[in-house]
Chains A and B, each alone.
Chain A
Amino acid sequence: MGEERGSGEEANKKVVHIYPLVRTCDMIDDMRNEAIELIVTACEKHAANNEMAAKVIKDNLDVKFGPSWHAVVGEGFGFNISYECKTLLYLFFGGNTGICIWKC
């Protein structure tokens, strides 16, 4: 907790970054841009409800790129996934949320 508070204070001192920061991605550019846009929209809409955000992301991705997408939205989690190539996007958004989407 202490650590978290410390980091938050540091961020406040400097700049609070809220833009989407892609950590890992192997999508093609078009898909990637669309997915990022979708994620940003969903996370902004459901800022307090990660579950809802994940649901929205998953549903929209299923409609856009075909079914069986998985989405994880959270502030702290671990995962070990196997995914279909060219469908992984792992990014941070809003300074404290991690979003991982993949298709399998």
Chain B
Amino acid sequence: MGESVIPEAPKLSKEELDEQIRRVLMPCDPTVDQTLVEFDFRSCTYVEKMPAPGILELFNLESNVSYEGDLSFDLPEPAGPLADIEEEDGDGKNERESEDGSGEERGEDAEASDRDGDTDHSEGATVGGDRSEEDGVGGEGGGGAEDGDEGEQEDDDPKPAAKNVKVTRKKLANQFNYSDRGALTYKVISRDESTQTAPPPSSSLKEQLYQWVIFDDYQRDYANIVAAREKERKEKQILARHDAASAAAADRAAERANSQDGGSQESRLFHAVKIMERMVTQNTFEDIAFDNVLAYKTKGIVCIYTLKNPSHPEYRFKFKTGAQTVDIHNKEPYFIAIGLYNGMVAVANIKKGHRTVRLESDLNRKHTGTVWEVRWCDDPRDRQLGFYSAGSDGKIFKWLIQGQELSMIPVITLSLEHEMTLGTTMNNLNANAQCIAFEPNNYEIFLVGTAEGLIYKCSISYSCSYLYVYKAHDLPVYRLSYNPYIPDIFASCSSDWRIKIWENCKPEPLYVFDLYCSVMDVQWAPYSSTVLAATTSEGKINLFDLNVNKNQPICVQTITYPENSYTTRLRFNNKLPVLIVGDSVGYLVSLKVSPNCRIPTKATKKNIFIEPRQLEIMKLERVLSFVREPTALTSLEINKGQNQEKN
């Protein structure tokens, strides 16, 4: 290669040729003196002087070659300018080509190793391939023999070449800050495991079925059934025979006892039987609370029941006319006052030993209308027991038990006011008293409800004037009931569907409840100051608790009656939360108030002990405070009214 390039060489002798000439390439310029020193006057020492940079510029040529084409592909090409320079040097084309060929070969080798080796190393391999390719391209650009070269490549191995070109184009997009990184995630190790549950228990059955098998089975089964029936029947017969025998024996014994012992034995037997009956019914009605309670019927019979034996009355009094009302004396509960339909009153004494004493009022001295209500009074001035009666003739009488007679004292005659009468001629028309109620703890004051819807507040001291008149209802007032805790509060009910709760001498009611059918009876509960019960003509019992709900009853119980009957009366037991309801046909129903409806009142502050009665009063006062008009406001209004009048 050297000989062909160098045209002429100087002729040298053998010695000269053999002489070894050592040449050493130095990194620094040997011509520059490295040991120059300079005297520094300030420090009075010689200081080494840095040599001047020994670079000499011999030749400088700016390139004027420009490339037209894909910049992104060629710009970062490091081989481009080099190739240009080499071309300018004027080197032979063959030489370049041979170089290209060797490059090509190297590329191929690298490619082969790539294909053999792991893909992990492909990165480096492709880079190597790239370089070789670039070299080739550079040479071709210079030589202009692009086509031939490519043809060669394709002949040799077209596929890898194509691949190379492709990869190269991608990789060279940005050669300077390109980096590649690979990572391998952990392998998830899988493992096989298997279990088997115990199979459900099984057994096997082997049988042959023929028609005769079925037939025989049916026959056998039928025979069994028949036998069982027979046996049952026989047992029954035996039992019946036993019963008959024992009954006969008992009869015989009873007969013997009667004949031998006579009357005293009989009464004792009666007593025993009575206790027995009580026991039996008590077992039957186990849930019902036990206490003596009075009940009544309105068909001319007064029956006295006990809760211990609801199936049969303890005492029974018959009257010619209907008995309208009864009342039991508070302190002497064996005295019972009865009001009759024909205007008479009666008293029954069921004290043991007295054997049901009955006193009836005189035919001459009686109400001229039905007696609607009787009330025992406990006037301390009276020595005898006395009671009041209200009749539809508008009169209130007081009756005193004097020995074996009843003496009558007229108390008041209720006459309608002028506004209520239809004309002037009817001025002295009497009101139709429907009910009467005495203020608790005050024997003098009482209320009378009339069929005209008025409520009169009267005193036994005044026989012709009233203390107050409430224009309460539009239809007859059926019942009045004083609150047992605050005597200023009372409730009234009427057939105009309403229950009203009043405060003493206030013209407007505090509460009005509309029950959408005639309210036959209303009673305050003795156990709570805010609870009242009402019964309606539809046979419903409504239980109100003002403390819980001021608008709706807290409990409504429909009592299933025979048709065409309605509930008439309702009464609380004084000690137990038991209600008794009577109806127009003569049925009595006793109800127990659910514990949910009578949760006892609790004191707000635990430290202070307040009597239960006081608590109840406070509760009612609180409830009423919501509906009472504030006193300040009312006085203001009055003042305003006065002012207006003045003006």
Given contacts A85-B200, A92-B214, A95-B214, contact A17 B208 (CB under 8 A): no
How many chain A residues touch B (Cβ–Cβ < 8 Å)? 31
- State whether B212 touches A7 (Cβ < 8 A): yes
Instruction: Provide the residues of chain A in CB contact with B202, threshold 8 Å.
Output: 82-85, 104
0/1 interface trace, chain A 52-88, chain B, CB 8 Å (1 if under) = 0000000000000000000000111111111111001
Contact-residue bracket for chain B? 20 to 34
Instruction: Provide the residues of chain B in CB contact with A96, threshold 8 Å.
Output: 211, 214
Given contacts A82-B202, A83-B203, contact A21 B217 (CB under 8 A): yes
Flag whether A24 is at the interface (Cβ < 8 A).
yes
Flag whether A47 is at the interface (Cβ < 8 A).
no
Given contacts A21-B218, A92-B218, contact A84 B209 (CB under 8 A): no
0/1 interface trace, chain B 160-198, chain A, CB 8 Å (1 if under) = 000000000000000000000000000000000000000
Flag whether A48 is at the interface (Cβ < 8 A).
no
Given contacts A21-B221, A84-B200, contact A90 B205 (CB under 8 A): yes
Min C-beta distance of B88 to chain A, whole Å: 92
Per the bound structure, the CA–CA distance linking A61 and B364 in Å amounts to 88
Instruction: Provide the residues of chain A in CB contact with B204, threshold 8 Å.
Output: 80-83
Instruction: Provide the residues of chain A in CB contact with B221, threshold 8 Å.
Output: 17, 21
Per the bound structure, the CA–CA distance linking A95 and B604 in Å amounts to 79
Flag whether A30 is at the interface (Cβ < 8 A).
no
- State whether A83 touches B205 (Cβ < 8 A): yes
Per the bound structure, the CA–CA distance linking A95 and B97 in Å amounts to 110
Per the bound structure, the CA–CA distance linking A14 and B309 in Å amounts to 56
- State whether B203 touches A82 (Cβ < 8 A): yes
- State whether B206 touches A80 (Cβ < 8 A): yes
Instruction: Provide the residues of chain B in CB contact with A84, threshold 8 Å.
Output: 200-202
Per the bound structure, the CA–CA distance linking A3 and B208 in Å amounts to 17
Given contacts A17-B222, A83-B203, contact A98 B215 (CB under 8 A): no
Per the bound structure, the CA–CA distance linking A53 and B209 in Å amounts to 18
Min C-beta distance of B116 to chain A, whole Å: 59
Per the bound structure, the CA–CA distance linking A57 and B534 in Å amounts to 61
- State whether B209 touches A4 (Cβ < 8 A): no
Instruction: Provide the residues of chain B in CB contact with A104, threshold 8 Å.
Output: 202
0/1 interface trace, chain B 432-447, chain A, CB 8 Å (1 if under) = 0000000000000000
Per the bound structure, the CA–CA distance linking A102 and B200 in Å amounts to 14
Per the bound structure, the CA–CA distance linking A92 and B204 in Å amounts to 19
Per the bound structure, the CA–CA distance linking A95 and B219 in Å amounts to 10
Min C-beta distance of B416 to chain A, whole Å: 75
- State whether A74 touches B209 (Cβ < 8 A): yes
Flag whether B67 is at the interface (Cβ < 8 A).
no
Flag whether B123 is at the interface (Cβ < 8 A).
no
0/1 interface trace, chain B 212-231, chain A, CB 8 Å (1 if under) = 11110110011000000000
Partner of A76, one of B200, B210, B215, B217: B210
- State whether A98 touches B203 (Cβ < 8 A): no
Per the bound structure, the CA–CA distance linking A84 and B205 in Å amounts to 11
Per the bound structure, the CA–CA distance linking A11 and B211 in Å amounts to 12
Chain A binding surface SS class: strand
Flag whether B207 is at the interface (Cβ < 8 A).
yes
- State whether A78 touches B208 (Cβ < 8 A): yes
Instruction: Provide the residues of chain A in CB contact with B217, threshold 8 Å.
Output: 21, 23, 92
Instruction: Provide the residues of chain B in CB contact with A7, threshold 8 Å.
Output: 211-212, 215
Per the bound structure, the CA–CA distance linking A23 and B217 in Å amounts to 8
Partner of B209, one of A77, A80, A83, A95: A77
Min C-beta distance of B313 to chain A, whole Å: 50
Per the bound structure, the CA–CA distance linking A74 and B215 in Å amounts to 14
- State whether B201 touches A85 (Cβ < 8 A): yes
Per the bound structure, the CA–CA distance linking A85 and B198 in Å amounts to 14
- Whose C-beta in chain B lies nearest to the C-beta of A97? B214
- State whether A24 touches B209 (Cβ < 8 A): no
Flag whether A28 is at the interface (Cβ < 8 A).
no
Per the bound structure, the CA–CA distance linking A15 and B223 in Å amounts to 11
Partner of A4, one of B207, B211, B222: B211
Given contacts A79-B206, A85-B200, contact A17 B211 (CB under 8 A): no
- State whether A3 touches B209 (Cβ < 8 A): no
- State whether B212 touches A3 (Cβ < 8 A): yes
Per the bound structure, the CA–CA distance linking A17 and B221 in Å amounts to 10
Given contacts A17-B222, A84-B201, contact A98 B208 (CB under 8 A): no
Min C-beta distance of B66 to chain A, whole Å: 85
Per the bound structure, the CA–CA distance linking A7 and B210 in Å amounts to 12
Per the bound structure, the CA–CA distance linking A102 and B206 in Å amounts to 13
Given contacts A85-B200, A92-B214, A95-B214, contact A78 B209 (CB under 8 A): yes
Per the bound structure, the CA–CA distance linking A85 and B207 in Å amounts to 17
- Whose C-beta in chain B lies nearest to the C-beta of A85? B201
Min C-beta distance of B180 to chain A, whole Å: 58
> Which of B204, B210, B218 has the most A CB atoms < 10 Å from its CB?
B218
Given contacts A21-B218, A21-B221, A23-B217, contact A88 B205 (CB under 8 A): yes
- Whose C-beta in chain A lies nearest to the C-beta of B215? A7
Instruction: Provide the residues of chain B in CB contact with A4, threshold 8 Å.
Output: 211
- State whether B211 touches A79 (Cβ < 8 A): no
- State whether A90 touches B207 (Cβ < 8 A): yes
- Whose C-beta in chain A lies nearest to the C-beta of B204? A82
Instruction: Provide the residues of chain B in CB contact with A82, threshold 8 Å.
Output: 202-204
- Whose C-beta in chain A lies nearest to the C-beta of B201? A85
Instruction: Provide the residues of chain A in CB contact with B218, threshold 8 Å.
Output: 17, 21, 92, 95
0/1 interface trace, chain B 494-535, chain A, CB 8 Å (1 if under) = 000000000000000000000000000000000000000000
Min C-beta distance of A39 to chain B, whole Å: 15
Per the bound structure, the CA–CA distance linking A79 and B520 in Å amounts to 78
Instruction: Provide the residues of chain B in CB contact with A17, threshold 8 Å.
Output: 218, 221-222
Per the bound structure, the CA–CA distance linking A92 and B209 in Å amounts to 10
Min C-beta distance of A45 to chain B, whole Å: 20
Given contacts A24-B205, A90-B207, contact A11 B215 (CB under 8 A): yes
Per the bound structure, the CA–CA distance linking A84 and B203 in Å amounts to 7
Ordered nearest first, which 8 A-B pairs have the shortest CB separation? A82-B204, A80-B206, A17-B218, A78-B208, A98-B209, A85-B201, A92-B214, A7-B215
List the interface of chain A (C-beta within 8 A of B).
3-4, 7, 10-11, 15, 17, 21, 23-24, 74-85, 88, 90, 92, 95-98, 102, 104
Known: A77-B208, A98-B209. 7 other contacts (CB 8 A): A24-B205, A76-B211, A81-B206, A82-B203, A85-B201, A92-B217, A95-B214
List the interface of chain B (C-beta within 8 A of A).
200-215, 217-218, 221-222
User: Can you sample 30 A-B contacts with CB below 8 Å?
Assistant: A7-B212, A10-B215, A11-B215, A15-B222, A17-B218, A21-B217, A75-B209, A76-B210, A77-B208, A77-B209, A78-B207, A79-B207, A79-B209, A80-B204, A80-B206, A82-B204, A83-B204, A84-B201, A85-B200, A85-B202, A88-B205, A90-B205, A92-B214, A92-B217, A92-B218, A95-B215, A96-B211, A97-B214, A98-B209, A98-B214
